[in-house]
Amino acid sequence: MSASGSQQGMTPAPKPEQQSPWAEAEGRLSRALRELGQTSWVVTILAVVVALVVGAVLILAANRDVQASLSYFFAQPTAFLETSFQVLREAYSALFRGAVFDWQAPSAERAIRPLTETMVYSVPLILAGLGIAIGFRSGMLNIGGQGQIILGATSAGFLGYALSMPVGLHVLLALAGGILGGAIWGGIAGVLKARTGANEVIVTIMLNNIAIYLLAWLLQQQWYKQTGSNQPLSSSVDESAQLFSLLGSGFRLHAGFLIAILATLGVWWLLERSTLGFEFRAIGENPEAARTAGINVPKATALVLVIAGGLAGLGGAAHVLGTEYRLAGGVAGTLGFDAITVALLGRSRPLGTFLAGLLLGGLRAGGVLMQAQTGTPIDIVLVLQAVIVLMIAAPPLVRAIFFLPHADGRPRLRRRSARRKARSTDSAAPVQERALQTSGAPNAESPGTMTPGTTTPGTQPPSTNTQEPGK
């Protein structure tokens, strides 16, 4: 998001002598298009468009009316198109009405309720997504959001109904418990990585599954769930430990959203303004250089995952104390994996993560209404978000789909000849572009990066961090 400013040698008006030979030849329109294709938010929007198209195909394929009209497609093609249009309009308008603004609602209060629902869904996504994002910026792929959320929810919920305390204190203590639970779970992976070099991807995946069984076991223990029944369901969180409602009883929006905003600001400060954040980013960029510069790499590594786990745990705590109130086996749903999507979508930036969390929360909230009104299963939201992330991760693909010019200015179809030409007259090309061309990649990105427009340090999870031996 904020990274779209500095491009790799693609400042809006490059000096004439720095222009590559083919850039001179192309017109102003194509240059504008090229810059458009490079801007990360354009890629994001186009990715959403691709996802909606894929979703549309699925919705149409699964719809009975459309199937029926397809059977007489050649006799009456308009019927098929009309039915398809009708079905899609219903589905996607339900998605929108469920996520943002419901113009069919009987009252104004009901009309704006969807937006608040979106916020409710986005709270744990934003918080956990911030945790994942910190990991990405520090060069660590924390796949363990799920486990950390579960641990956060488990400990926050338990503190929420097992203790009886005054109103303000109780909720704070429960939240702190959630942070601690998540931080411990993240810390296991962090300490193991720092001390033994254990690959954090593997450890966090394993911890996810351990957390699921741990919760399942706890929910069979009477001392833990305190319900007296055999149902694997805990008792409800005390009123004093619940996050207070922001908009009154008609809405589910709770103070967790404020926590999410504060956490976003806090993470921004941590990463961009604090010494610790600088160390995090430094070990993400180049651990060797960081070590040379006197940064305690093992300590920073462990701390990254502790903080990341704490944030995810806070997300789980907010989810239980604000929305769910009860712990069940599936309390975390797919939140942990959605949080990874959120962090990727937000390009590991705090503000970007916040907005991406809102987007995904909106998809969730809208998906519920879409399922209720049009019978389109909510699973389609998973497809949408997966397609969005895949597209964002591979901008050249998005550019290819939309016939946008290539990132380094080579026209799409004459790529090969252009490259050959570049080799003969490479003295004219600026150094950076030349390096990219000789890299021989099918696209202009340097190897391992995910987005072309973001050369700002640390915007994407480096691909190098997985090659270190697990020892």
Partner 1 sequence: MSDQTVSPAAVQAEPLKQSTTGVRPISWKYPITYAVLAALAVLFAITLPAGARTHFRLSSGGDFFEIPLVELPSRPAGWILALILVGLAGLAIWQASQRVRTRLWLPLLFGVLFVLAFLVWAGADRGAVIPLVTMLTGALALSVPLIFGAMCGLVGERSGVINIAIEAQLLAGAFLAAVAASVFTSAYMGLVFAPVAGALVGALLVFFSVKYQVNQIIVGVVLNVLIIGLTGFLFSTALTQNPELWNARQQLPRLPIPGLSQIPIIGPVLFNQTILVYLMYLIVGVLNVFLFRSRWGLRTRAVGEHPKAADTVGIKVNRMRVYNVILAGGIAGLGGAFFTIGQGLAFGKEMSAGAGFIALAAMILGRWHPIGALLAALLFGFSTSLGNTLATIGTPVPSEALLMLPYVITIFAVAGFVGRVRPPAANGTPYVK
Binding site for partner 1 (CB under 8 A): 58, 62, 64, 141, 143, 188, 192, 196-199, 201-203, 205-210, 212-214, 216-217, 220, 334, 337-338, 340-341, 344, 377, 379-387, 389-390, 393-394, 396-397, 439-443, 445, 447-450, 460-461, 463-464, 466-467, 469-471
Rank residues 76 and 464 by Cβ distance to partner 1 and give the closer one.
464
User: Looking at beta carbons only, is 160 or 367 nearer to partner 1?
Assistant: 367
Please identify which residue in the block is written with the tokens 């300490």.
Answer: 191
Q: State the Cα torsion 338-234-241-142 to the nearest 10°.
A: -30
- Among residues 296, 263, 281, 309, which one has the least CA distance to residue 137? 281
Nearer to partner 1, 231 or 466 (CB): 466
Of 3, 62, 100, nearest to 380 by C-alpha is 62
Residue closer to partner 1 by CB (options 47, 259) is: 47
Q: Which is nearer to partner 1, 290 or 381 (CB)?
A: 381
The residue written with tokens 């339900």 in the block is: 94
In angstroms, give the least distance from the CB of 184 to partner 1: 14
* CA 432 to chain CA centroid, nearest Å: 30
Least Å from the CB of residue 7 to partner 1:
19
**CA-closest candidate to residue 124, choices 283, 222, 260:** 260
Asked whether 134 and 346 are in contact (CB, 8 A), the reply is no
CB of 396 to partner 1, least distance (A): 6
For residue 284, give both structure tokens: 């993400």
Q: Of 51 and 115, which CB lies nearer to partner 1 in the complex structure?
A: 51
Nearer to partner 1, 196 or 231 (CB): 196
Q: Is 209 exposed, middle or buried (0-12, 13-18, 19+ CB in 10 A)?
A: exposed
Find the shortest distance in angstroms from Cβ 418 to partner 1. Answer: 18
The least CB distance from residue 422 to partner 1, in Å, is 16
Measured in Å, how far apart are the chain's first and last C-alpha atoms? 37
The nearer residue to partner 1, 202 or 258, going by C-beta atoms, is 202
DSSP string, 137-190: HTT----THHHHHHHHHHHHHHHHHH----HHHHHHHHHHHHHHHHHHHHHHHH
Pick between residue 19 and residue 348 the one whose CB is nearest to partner 1. Answer: 348
Which residue type does 339 have?
A
Smallest separation, CB 356 to partner 1 (Å): 14
Q: Which residues 6+ apart lie within 8 Å of 225 measured at CB?
A: 218, 219, 232, 233, 234, 235, 327
- Concatenated DSSP letters of 277-306: HHHHHHHHH-HHHHHHTT--HHHHHHHHHH
- Residue number, 14 or 470, with CB nearest to partner 1: 470
- Which of 170, 327, 314, 183 has its CA nearest to residue 256? 314
- Kindly state the smallest distance separating residue 266's Cβ from partner 1, in Å: 25
Distance CA 181, CA 413 (A): 54
> Smallest distance, Å, CB 170 to partner 1?
29
> Which of 141, 259 has the CB closer to partner 1?
141
Q: How far is the CB of 264 from partner 1 (least distance, A)?
A: 22
What are the angstrom distances between the C-alpha of 63 and each of 4, 60, 86?
Answer: 40, 5, 11
In the complex with partner 1, which residue's Cβ is closer, 328 or 428? 328
DSSP string across 295-362: --HHHHHHHHHHHHHHHHHHHHHHIIIIII-S-BTTTTTTHHHHHHHHHHHTTT-HHHHHHHHHHHHH
DSSP 8-state assignment for residue 454:
-
Closest CB 374 distance from partner 1, rounded Å: 11
Nearest distance in Å: CB 200, partner 1: 9
CB of 203 to partner 1, least distance (A): 6
